[in-house]
Amino acid sequence: MNKITRRQALGATAGALTALGLAGATAHAAVTGSRTAAPAGPAGPSGITDEVYQGRRIRIVPASGGGDDHGGHHGGHQSPGQPTVLIDGRELHVMRNADGSWISVVNHYETFSGPLPLARAAVRELQGAALVPMGGM
């Protein structure tokens, strides 16, 4: 009796699916890595970070030290003192948590160490879609 048992068939199927999953994840990581731009250099003298990531322009303007205390915010949706994060010229609403981590309206369940990693994750999550302004505009 050289019949394969149900348990052996399920084990072989699980092993094959695991191998396919790992191969797919590796291929996805390789493709994503080849589309990314070189890391942004240090911010310029004005503190502005400007880079192209996966074909999208990310620009981070730090909050100004001026009297208006609104940073470089265009729509006024940000808290005072927060940097303005722009993706293709459209503002991404960001917020700093009490523990120092950052979240955005695109990735509000995931925290990031700073505005640049947050903006890069938003670009990946948007998958080419346009960023819609806050406030229904």
Please tell me the distance from the alpha carbon of residue 77 to that of residue 126, in angstroms, as a whole number.
Answer: 20
The whole-number pLDDT of residue 121 equals 94
Residue 93 CA to chain centroid, in angstroms? 13
Does the pLDDT value for residue 130 go beyond 70? yes
Please tell me the distance from the alpha carbon of residue 115 to that of residue 61, in angstroms, as a whole number.
Answer: 10
Asked if 60 and 85 touch (Cβ cutoff 8 Å), the reply is: yes
pLDDT digits (tens, 9 = 90+) for 27-54: 666 655 544 444 555 556 677 889 999 9
Looking at every residue in the chain, the average pLDDT score rounds to 78
Half-sphere exposure of residue 80, counting CA atoms within 13 Å on the CB side? Answer: 5
Asked if 50 and 92 touch (Cβ cutoff 8 Å), the reply is: no
Q: How far is CA 31 from CA 42, 93, 120, 136, in A?
A: 26, 28, 16, 35
Q: Which residue has the tokens 């205390």?
A: 69
What confidence tier does 70 reach under pLDDT thresholds 50, 70, 90? Answer: very low
Please tell me the distance from the alpha carbon of residue 74 to that of residue 19, in angstroms, as a whole number.
Answer: 48
The whole-number pLDDT of residue 59 equals 94
What confidence tier does 77 reach under pLDDT thresholds 50, 70, 90? Answer: low
Residue 105 CA to chain centroid, in angstroms? 11
- Which residues, 6 or more positions from 123, have their beta carbon under 8 angstroms from its beta carbon? 53, 54, 56, 58, 87
Amino acid at 128: G
